[in-house]
Chain A
């Protein structure tokens, strides 16, 4: 693919903990094209936020390659990385704690512009800040207010304006709507989509909420315990769900209808420990279809149809492929 913006190859991030090695991100590879949205789904603690932060080098990776815009950024040292920051930005989960409580709205939005010395004088800076506030739909009267005075939706709009300020090519959205109520969620998601249409940047959208990614993504990757177990274009994933874990996830989306009551696939147990995991399918202990083979060796991602990858040893027999 020539228009790949971000290529992640065999990315690993292990943390040393007293009991051993915590495999937060374990051998993850994927590609994000220019202007598209990749949804990364998984339950709490599966390493999806760590994946996002590792790509932005907020946490340095243990091994693997991150190729952004044709450059391997996993080896770039911190000082040079600052120059790459404007191209990749992040929107955080909790808009209140990710905003400096001692800065007013205008100062928050001006901060990235000041850091990267984009504007040459005070006037152009103020103008740019107001422009950005208009872009994200934040009324100009809030320019001198502080985050604690605003509601969650407006706070997240500040976060978005701040991420947009440097006109990045990619924004990593780490659960940007999970702290908001449903109405505001929809507003923010629509805003993000409109902005993408207008400016053509790529999103990596990290969330645990499948209905949100269905709405916004072109591709979806499902993560389980630090590994990617299924990835496919959104439509394909929702029409042909193959991995038992993804099936369980999808069946957990509530359907507001009495006629089509669906059988829910319930999972037993909880996430197994990511510390020193055995060389086996990570999902096997909770899987309803696990056989002996599943506990021997980690399954590899296989392309079963165009662009649809699954990591499951029994996927063929279970889905009659």
Chain B
């Protein structure tokens, strides 16, 4: 009796063929980046995080087209409705569809979070790199100024800046960038300092490489690992800060469907309609969790020794 060729057998055959190809013939070039990618792929949690992030990005882009309802249209007759077939996450105190609002909400917290971190790294990172590269008095002056900034709790700092400049997205971004500058500068400074001590910097000098070349070809590529890792974690923190500020009414306010603002709107109905609070809370949690999982994955992939 002929054996059936099952999908499991096909899978084994495929794997064998792949291994054969690896042993004979062309070997895949192994670069440090490719090795890191291979390690990242093996980390299931990181991949889950990455997939969630990709979904969030796609939702943010196509949001207006997939949202079942208009996220601003109130329907006072149907306020605080429990989840149903019609409104899968229920409605909020104004009768707006929570699911639609969450979908549009991806266009606030997540991109602003990234924006904040990019700005913070651009400014703080440059300061940190200058401090580390020149050392001595330059380092001293820059770091002491940043120390002053850091002596104020970031949240308090952000509140103070928003209080002075007023609300709105631009001011929110500015306030969080300022409050997170010192931490970003420190991360970049620390990684450049570590790299700077390596013999290959001295060997670059001995070869006659210009300062610019030393920085671009020798220091930055090697310092990028820890910077990239902290980037993902920073986005998670930034999203939390944005939501927190919005929650206390200093960030993005109604009617914009920012998740923190939605939480704030639902807080009065915690007992009677917990779903108004539950879903925005879950959205924040899942996004932050995905970023942290992905960040962990990147850290382990870039530097397996740290695990």
> Which A positions have Cβ atoms within 8 angstroms of B?
53, 56, 58, 81-82, 85-86, 89-90, 92-94, 97-104, 111-112, 115-116, 144-146, 148-149, 159, 162
Q: Using A98-B199, A102-B222, A111-B207 as known contacts, list a sample of 19 further A-B pairs with CB atoms less than 8 Å apart, ordered by residue number in A.
A: A56-B206, A82-B210, A85-B206, A85-B207, A89-B207, A90-B206, A97-B200, A98-B203, A100-B200, A102-B32, A111-B217, A112-B207, A112-B208, A115-B207, A144-B29, A146-B31, A148-B32, A149-B30, A162-B207
User: Which residues of chain B from 129 to 170 have any CB-CB distance to chain A below 8 Å in the complex?
Assistant: none
In the complex, are the beta carbons of B208 and A116 less than 8 A apart?
A: yes
In the complex, are the beta carbons of B217 and A100 less than 8 A apart?
A: yes
For B31, list chain A residues within 8 Å (CB).
Answer: 104, 146
A26 to B241, CA, bound (A): 58
For A104, list chain B residues within 8 Å (CB).
Answer: 31
A82 to B212, CA, bound (A): 14
In the complex, are the beta carbons of B204 and A58 less than 8 A apart?
A: no
In the complex, are the beta carbons of B207 and A92 less than 8 A apart?
A: no
Which residue of chain A has its CB nearest to the CB of B221? A102
In the complex, are the beta carbons of A99 and B203 less than 8 A apart?
A: yes
In the complex, are the beta carbons of B32 and A58 less than 8 A apart?
A: no
Q: Smallest Cβ distance from B8 to chain A, in angstroms?
A: 35
In the complex, are the beta carbons of A92 and B29 less than 8 A apart?
A: no
Interface of A is mostly: loop
Interface hub of B31, B204, B208, B209 (most chain A Cβ within 10 A): B208
For B198, list chain A residues within 8 Å (CB).
Answer: 97
A93 to B31, CA, bound (A): 25
For B69, list chain A residues within 8 Å (CB).
Answer: none
Top 4 A-B pairs, shortest CB-CB distance? A85-B208, A98-B199, A97-B199, A102-B221
For B206, list chain A residues within 8 Å (CB).
Answer: 56, 58, 85, 89-90
In the assembled complex, B218 has its CB within 8 A of some CB on chain A: yes
Which residue of chain A has its CB nearest to the CB of B198? A97
A98 touching B202 in the complex, CB below 8 Å, given contacts A85-B208, A112-B208: yes
In the assembled complex, B42 has its CB within 8 A of some CB on chain A: no
In the assembled complex, B15 has its CB within 8 A of some CB on chain A: no
Interface hub of A93, A112, A145, A162 (most chain B Cβ within 10 A): A112
For B205, list chain A residues within 8 Å (CB).
Answer: 58
In the complex, are the beta carbons of B209 and A115 less than 8 A apart?
A: yes
Interface of B is mostly: helix
For B218, list chain A residues within 8 Å (CB).
Answer: 100
In the assembled complex, B213 has its CB within 8 A of some CB on chain A: yes
Can you list 16 A-B contacts with CB-CB less than 8 angstroms, sorted by A residue number?
A: A56-B206, A58-B205, A82-B208, A92-B202, A94-B199, A97-B198, A98-B203, A99-B203, A103-B217, A104-B31, A111-B209, A115-B207, A144-B29, A146-B32, A149-B30, A162-B207
Which residue of chain A has its CB nearest to the CB of B219? A100
In the complex, are the beta carbons of A92 and B203 less than 8 A apart?
A: yes
Proximity bits, B183-199, A CB within 8 Å = 1, else 0: 00000000000000011
A148 to B34, CA, bound (A): 14
For A116, list chain B residues within 8 Å (CB).
Answer: 208
Q: Smallest Cβ distance from B22 to chain A, in angstroms?
A: 15
For A145, list chain B residues within 8 Å (CB).
Answer: 30
For A90, list chain B residues within 8 Å (CB).
Answer: 203, 206
In the complex, are the beta carbons of A146 and B202 less than 8 A apart?
A: no
A134 to B217, CA, bound (A): 26
In the complex, are the beta carbons of B222 and A58 less than 8 A apart?
A: no
Which residue of chain A has its CB nearest to the CB of B222? A102
In the complex, are the beta carbons of B30 and A146 less than 8 A apart?
A: yes
Q: Smallest Cβ distance from A28 to chain B, in angstroms?
A: 20
A115 to B198, CA, bound (A): 20
Proximity bits, B24-40, A CB within 8 Å = 1, else 0: 00000111100000000
For B217, list chain A residues within 8 Å (CB).
Answer: 100, 103, 111
A82 to B228, CA, bound (A): 33
A148 to B32, CA, bound (A): 9
Which residue of chain A has its CB nearest to the CB of B211? A78
For A93, list chain B residues within 8 Å (CB).
Answer: 199
For A58, list chain B residues within 8 Å (CB).
Answer: 202, 205-206
For B29, list chain A residues within 8 Å (CB).
Answer: 144
User: Which residues of chain B from 204 to 257 have any CB-CB distance to chain A below 8 Å in the complex?
Assistant: 204-210, 213, 217-218, 221-222
Which residue of chain A has its CB nearest to the CB of B206? A90
